[in-house]
């Protein structure tokens, strides 16, 4: 064999060996791929599917909206409006951090602060960057298509009546959970339960498919209050003007439906706007009509007389000798503004005699006096269910000294809330029957609980009417066309070591119309400034203004005019309320 042929043979053999080696390599690699494919597609199928789902399937919360709060006619007092919140997965947006300032500009936050927040939370997968945005603003953020940026639907509470109903309705926090007022008390009723759904997201975290519903949301239930927004606004407006006029520190008004115990209006000053979180200070948002107590002064006297009449020892025309215009109990001298001499119980109430009511109270058994006052709801929490309600203060008779029984008779040594006082007057208006206080609309009144006899209630109303007649202390509470029954009260404010001599509570509590009471109203003005501070000068005119408008709004017929004139007034009310 020639040398060239031998070289050629060796070359062919080398090439063949190389081809065989390459083929063996490719066969080996193909075998590995097949084995790997079997492992992935068969042996590790479930594990890999789970890993893929973990990376792309997500459980998303479906927000439930909170129930609305409505007035008795269905007008909204609190509603939940849809908003969008933007959140980010810091681990996913880190590679696009240079675009975060674009997001910051849209949502109106400082870009450096936002970048620092994201950088400090790199160990998290969820971080809110702005909550409760207008949906159009949130949509602008999502159009940037940045990885890790997500949107979540939430609800924000809105209060259409703002500060008019703020003290009663209260407010929620940013998570829509009740924090004050009825929002807190009825949170269990108003609050919904979020749902959940399974969604599929792409590599940028954008939702591309709703896979299935896991749990539907349960939305909160609506709550209808006893409040009449028309009367509520009237009380708010009138009280605000009175507090400003008299340069007072605060004030409260309560209007009750005498026959059902429903609260038709409850207003306080100063107030706050629950839509503005910068106003959330306890001094502004506490409901003074329910939480604050005061010594009621002479407005307590009808209940002392009620105890006397119930004892059957006295009648409205029973005489009391108030001479010489003062009486001393222990080391305390109790005085009237002048010597009224011999007067009956009706005159004693109309002229607001401290001496007369003290002498009357001292003739009664302490346990019977205490029991009667307790039955009127004094010293006890009402059934309102409002958070933070005060029980007032009525010391048990076993702890009374003679001076205690004497001062209680004209409203010192006892403390009440405006709501308690309104409830007690409502008993007189409801023929001696107490209805439980309700902040919620009721379809029909409860049976109630009898506190005093019908005869005593009727006698008290007649006596209280004289207070608002000429010669009585409450003449400025009179309302044209209506009979009014009520009582003034002026009390020194408690101070360190006793009572202040220049700070007062001005009070008026009354019923309208007196012939068949429908409304019980209490007006309390705290620390009126200037020369006027008596309840007759400060609180009584506020009562008259509120009742004049309220009786008209509720189309309650006048009871102090002739029949023909009454019909004309009723027709005028109907015409005024009828759309033209």
**Total residues found in the chain within this entry:** 580
The token pair at 509 is: 């509590």
Helix/strand number for the chain, H first, E second: 21, 21
- Whether the CB-CB separation of 270 and 284 falls below 8 Å is answered with yes
353 is catalytic: no
The token pair at 147 is: 């990885």
d(CA 291, CA 455): 33
- Whether the CB-CB separation of 240 and 269 falls below 8 Å is answered with yes
Closest CA to 430 of 258, 225, 252, 230: 258
- In sequence order, which residues have a C-beta less than 8 Å from that of residue 377 and are 6 or more positions away? 420, 423, 424, 427, 434
Query: What phi and psi, each to the nearest 5 degrees, are found at residue 178?
Result: -60, 135
- Active-site option among 63, 80, 298, 352: 298
Map residue 255 onto helix, strand or coil.
strand
Residue 107 burial (10 A CB sphere; 0-12, 13-18, 19+)? middle
Q: What is the 3-state secondary structure (H, E, C) of 513-580?
A: CCCCCCEEEEEEEECCCCCCCCCCCCHHHHHHHHHHHHHHHCCCCCCCCCHHHHHHHHHHHHHHHCCC
Map residue 265 onto helix, strand or coil.
strand
d(CA 264, CA 520): 10
- In sequence order, which residues have a C-beta less than 8 Å from that of residue 277 and are 6 or more positions away? none
Strand partners, 343: 320
- Whether the CB-CB separation of 413 and 399 falls below 8 Å is answered with no
- Whether the CB-CB separation of 497 and 506 falls below 8 Å is answered with no
d(CA 350, CA 362): 20
Report DSSP state, residue 557: P
The token pair at 229 is: 């927004």
Report DSSP state, residue 438: B
CA angle 469, 470, 472 (to 5 degrees): 70
The token pair at 306 is: 């009620």
* Sequence-ordered alpha helix ranges (H) in 108-165: 111-120, 135-142
Q: Cite the active site residues.
A: 298
């Amino acid at each position: 064999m020639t040398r060239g042929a031998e070289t050629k043979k060796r070359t062919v053999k080398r090439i063949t060996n190389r081809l065989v080696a390459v083929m063996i390599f490719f066969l080996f690699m193909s075998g590995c791929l097949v084995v790997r494919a079997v492992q992935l597609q068969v042996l590790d199928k479930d594990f890999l599917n789970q890993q893929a789902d973990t990376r792309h399937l997500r459980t998303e919360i479906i927000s439930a909206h909170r129930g609305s709060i409505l007035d008795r006619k269905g007008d909204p007092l609190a509603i939940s409006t849809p908003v969008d919140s933007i959140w980010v997965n810091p681990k996913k947006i880190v590679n696009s951090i240079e675009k975060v300032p674009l997001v910051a500009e849209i949502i109106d936050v400082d870009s450096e602060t936002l970048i620092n927040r994201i950088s400090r939370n790199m160990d998290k997968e969820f971080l809110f960057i702005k909550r409760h945005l207008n949906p159009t603003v949130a949509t602008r953020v999502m159009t940037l298509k940045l990885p890790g940026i997500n949107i979540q639907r939430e609800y924000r509470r809105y209060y259409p009546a703002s500060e008019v109903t703020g003290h009663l309705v209260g407010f929620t926090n940013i998570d829509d959970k009740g924090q004050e007022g009825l929002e807190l008390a009825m949170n269990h009723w108003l609050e919904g339960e979020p749902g959940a759904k399974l969604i599929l997201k792409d590599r940028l975290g954008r939702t591309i498919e709703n896979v299935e519903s896991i749990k539907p949301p349960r939305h909160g239930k609506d709550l209808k209050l006893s409040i009449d927004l028309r009367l509520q606004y009237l009380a708010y407006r009138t009280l605000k003007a009175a507090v400003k006029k008299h340069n007072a520190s605060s004030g409260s008004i309560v209007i009750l439906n005498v026959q059902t115990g429903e609260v038709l209006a409850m207003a306080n000053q100063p107030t706050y706007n629950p839509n503005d979180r910068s106003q959330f200070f306890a001094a502004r948002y506490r409901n003074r009509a329910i939480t604050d107590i005061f010594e009621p002064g002479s407005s307590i006297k009808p209940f002392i007389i009620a105890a006397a009449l119930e004892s059957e020892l006295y009648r409205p025309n029973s005489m009391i000798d108030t001479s010489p215009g003062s009486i001393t109990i222990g080391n305390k001298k109790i005085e009237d503004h002048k010597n009224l001499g011999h007067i009956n119980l009706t005159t004693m109430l109309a002229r607001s005699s401290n001496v007369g009511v003290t002498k009357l109270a001292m003739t009664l058994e302490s346990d019977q006096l205490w029991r009667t006052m307790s039955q009127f709801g004094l010293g006890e929490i009402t059934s309102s269910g409002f958070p933070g309600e005060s029980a007032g203060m009525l010391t048990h008779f076993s702890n009374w000294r003679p001076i205690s029984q004497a001062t209680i008779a004209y409203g010192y040594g006892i403390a009440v809330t405006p709501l308690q006082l309104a409830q007690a007057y409502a008993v007189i208006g409801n023929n001696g029957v107490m209805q439980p206080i309700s902040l919620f609309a009721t379809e029909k009144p409860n049976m109630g609980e009898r506190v005093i006899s019908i005869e005593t209630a009727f006698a008290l109303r007649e006596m209280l009417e004289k207070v608002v007649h000429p010669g009585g202390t409450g003449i400025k509470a009179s309302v044209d066309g209506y009979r009014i029954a009520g009582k003034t009260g002026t009390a020194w404010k408690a101070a360190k070591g006793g009572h202040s001599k220049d700070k007062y509570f001005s009070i008026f509590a009354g019923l309208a119309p007196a012939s068949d009471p429908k409304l019980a109203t209490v007006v309390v003005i705290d620390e009126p400034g200037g020369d006027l501070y008596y309840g007759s000068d400060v609180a009584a005119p506020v009562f008259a203004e509120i009742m004049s408008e309220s009786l008209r709004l509720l189309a309650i017929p006048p009871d102090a005019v002739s029949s023909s004139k009454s019909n004309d007034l009723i027709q005028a009310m109907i015409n005024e309320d009828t759309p033209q």
